[in-house]
Amino acid sequence: MAEEKKNNAKEIPDKTGYIIAAGVPLINPGNIFPEGFLRKEIPISDSGELEVIRHYSRLSKNNFSLDANFYPLGSCTMKYNPKINEYLANLEGFCGIHPCQDQRDTQGALELLYNLQQVLCEITGMKRFSLEPSSGAQGEFTGISIIRKYHQVKGSKKTKIIVPDSAHGTNPATASMCGFETITVESDSRGLIDINKLEQLLDDDVAAVMLTNPNTLGLFEKNILEISRLIHSKGGLLYYDGANFNPLLGITKPSLMGFDVVHLNLHKTFSTPHGTGGPGAGALGVVEELADFLPVPIVVKKDQSFYFDYSLKHSIGRVRSFYGNFSVLVRAYAYILRLGAQGLLRAAQNSVINANYLRVKLQLLYEVAYPFICMHEVVLSAQRQKEKGASALDISKRLIDYGIHPPTMYFPLIVKEALMVEPTETENKKTLDNFIRIMVEINNEIDTDISKVKDAPHRTSVKRVDEVRAARFPDLKWSAEKSSKQ
C-alpha cells in the first residue's frame, strides 16, 4: 500500500517538460495546449484487484466477438482466429525483434516474409508480392498507384478507371485518391457486369478496370476472360480486389482470369484478426511486367540468406513504415501452412457450400436478390418484410437479441433492403441451422408481434444509436458524469 501511494504521487517529467502527476492538477508550462484540452486531474480509483477484474470482465461481455458468437458479416469475412496463430505470433523470436535490428539477426523473420510472398504468388499466379500494405484499401491504393506509374513510364496518358456498380466503396475511393476519374459500369439482370455497357465505356483513356470476382453479390463473373481481353486490347490493366479470396483458394487463380494486379486481405481470406479498421494486411501481387513497380523493400533470397531489396527500378516508394504488419503476417503464414494446399481447397469448398445452404434454406421466406448459385456469400433482400413494416435494419437489430451479429446491411447498393450474409467456411452445420431457425422465427414475429422486431434490441446495454449523428458529430471525450448516466 505504501508503495502504491508513492507511485501515485510520483512526478514524471516527460520530454517536453510537462509534469504528469497522478491525482495532482497538471501544469502547462509553455501554455502550448489550450486550457480546454488539458485534464485537470487523472482520476485513479483505489479499487482492489478483484473489483478491477470484475469491471473489465463485465465490460468485455458487452463486446460482440467471434469467440462468443456467430458473425455472418457479408463481404468482411469474419471467420474465427485460430488460437495457434496467437501462440505462434507471440513467440519471442517474432514479437521480441526490433524493425531496425540488423538483418543478420533477423534471418528467421525474413525467411517467413519471403516464404509468405512466395506462397501468395503460388496461390494467385502473380510474379511478385509486397507485404507492405496494411489494409485492403491500402492494398488497392498501392495497386492503383502502380498502374498509374506504369502508364506514366510507358508515356500513355490515361485518366479513367472503370468500377462496377456493385463494387466495394473502397474501389471508387481508391481510384479518386490516385487522381483518376471513376466511371461506373452497371450490372445486368444476372448481377454480372453488363458486357455491352462495358464495351461502350472502354476507350484509350481507361487505365484499368477494378473487379471483385466473385463480385460483392457473391456471384462469379463468368465473362471474366472476355472482360480481360477487352481492357487489354485498349492498353489498360485489370485489377483484382481479392479481399475475400476464400471461395476460390486452390480452385482458380487471378492470373488465369487475366488479372495483372491483385490485393488479398489476409485479415479476411487467411483468418487473421480484424475489426474497427485494423490491424490488417492487404498484401499486393503483380504480374512480371509490373514487378519492378512494387513498393520497397521486398524480401529476396540469395545464397541461402534473406535480405531487403530496395533496388526495384520503377518502385512507387514506400506505402508504410517498415515491412508490413509483421505479427499479422506471421498469423496468415501459420494458417496457410497448417491447412496446406488440400486444406485451403476444402476451406474454399466449405465457404461455398455453407453460403448456398443458407440461400436454399432461406429463399422461401427471404427474397434472394439474384437467385443463382452463389460463391461464399448470399445477398438476401428484406423487401417482403419491409412491406409488412420491418426493414433490414429492424431484422438486423433483432438478430442481436438472439446472440447473432447483424449481417452487412444495405450493401451492395444495388439491392434494396439488402442483408448480405457470409457464413464463412469455419462454421458448422449446427450453427447454420440455428441461424436459419432464428431467421424463420424473426419472420414469424413480423407477422405476429412486429414490435418485438421494431423495438429490438431488447437485451443490450445500449439500444439503437443515431448513427448519422454519431458519424457527423462524434463525441469522443469521456466524462465521469456522462458515463454514470448511461
Ligand X SMILES: *Cc1c(COP(=O)(O)O)cnc(C)c1O
Residues that bind ligand X (CB under 6 A): 75-76, 135-137, 168, 170, 212, 216, 241, 243-244, 265, 280, 282
Which has the closest alpha carbon to 315: 153, 111, 162?
A: 153
Least spacing, CB of residue 105 vs ligand X, in Å? 31
Degrees (nearest 5) of the Cα angle 295, 261, 250?
Answer: 115
C-alpha cell at 363: 429463399
Residue placing its CB nearer to ligand X in the complex, 106 or 164: 164
Residue placing its CB nearer to ligand X in the complex, 145 or 216: 216
CA distance 212 to 411: 15
Least spacing, CB of residue 157 vs ligand X, in Å? 28
Concatenating the DSSP letter of every residue in 150-181 gives HHHHHT----EEEEETTS-THHHHHHHHTTPE
Least spacing, CB of residue 244 vs ligand X, in Å? 5
Residue placing its CB nearer to ligand X in the complex, 106 or 171: 171
C-alpha cell at 447: 407477422
CA distance 145 to 159: 13
Which has the closest alpha carbon to 246: 275, 221, 268?
A: 268
Residue placing its CB nearer to ligand X in the complex, 145 or 265: 265
Residue placing its CB nearer to ligand X in the complex, 135 or 228: 135
CA distance 240 to 242: 6
Three-state secondary structure call for residue 57 = helix
Which has the closest alpha carbon to 336: 123, 106, 107?
A: 123
CA distance 382 to 421: 12
Least spacing, CB of residue 53 vs ligand X, in Å? 33
417 to each of 72, 311, 360, 373, 396, how far by Cα in Å? 17, 50, 19, 20, 11
Residue placing its CB nearer to ligand X in the complex, 106 or 135: 135
Least spacing, CB of residue 211 vs ligand X, in Å? 10
Least spacing, CB of residue 148 vs ligand X, in Å? 19
Least spacing, CB of residue 272 vs ligand X, in Å? 11
Least spacing, CB of residue 63 vs ligand X, in Å? 19
H helical segments located in 189-325:
195-201, 224-233, 266-269
432 near 358, Cβ under 8 Å?
yes
Q: Please provide residue 237's backbone torsions phi and psi, each rounded to the nearest 5 degrees.
A: -115, 165
Least spacing, CB of residue 236 vs ligand X, in Å? 20
Least spacing, CB of residue 242 vs ligand X, in Å? 8
Residue placing its CB nearer to ligand X in the complex, 228 or 272: 272
Residue placing its CB nearer to ligand X in the complex, 75 or 228: 75
Least spacing, CB of residue 475 vs ligand X, in Å? 24
Residue placing its CB nearer to ligand X in the complex, 75 or 187: 75
**CA dihedral of residues 460, 463, 464, 470 (deg, nearest 10):** -100
Residue placing its CB nearer to ligand X in the complex, 31 or 276: 276
Least spacing, CB of residue 139 vs ligand X, in Å? 8
> Peptide bond preceding 214: is omega within 30 degrees of 0, i.e. cis?
yes
C-alpha cell at 186: 452497371
| 212: Cα separation from own chain's centroid | 14
Three-state secondary structure call for residue 257 = helix
CA distance 439 to 384: 14
Chain residue whose CB lies nearest ligand X? 136
Mention every residue, 6+ apart, whose C-beta is less than 8 A from residue 370. Answer: 190, 191, 217, 219, 379
Beta-carbon count within 10 A of 161 CB:
27
CA distance 451 to 401: 13
Least spacing, CB of residue 375 vs ligand X, in Å? 12
Residue placing its CB nearer to ligand X in the complex, 137 or 330: 137
Residue placing its CB nearer to ligand X in the complex, 136 or 297: 136
Residue placing its CB nearer to ligand X in the complex, 254 or 280: 280
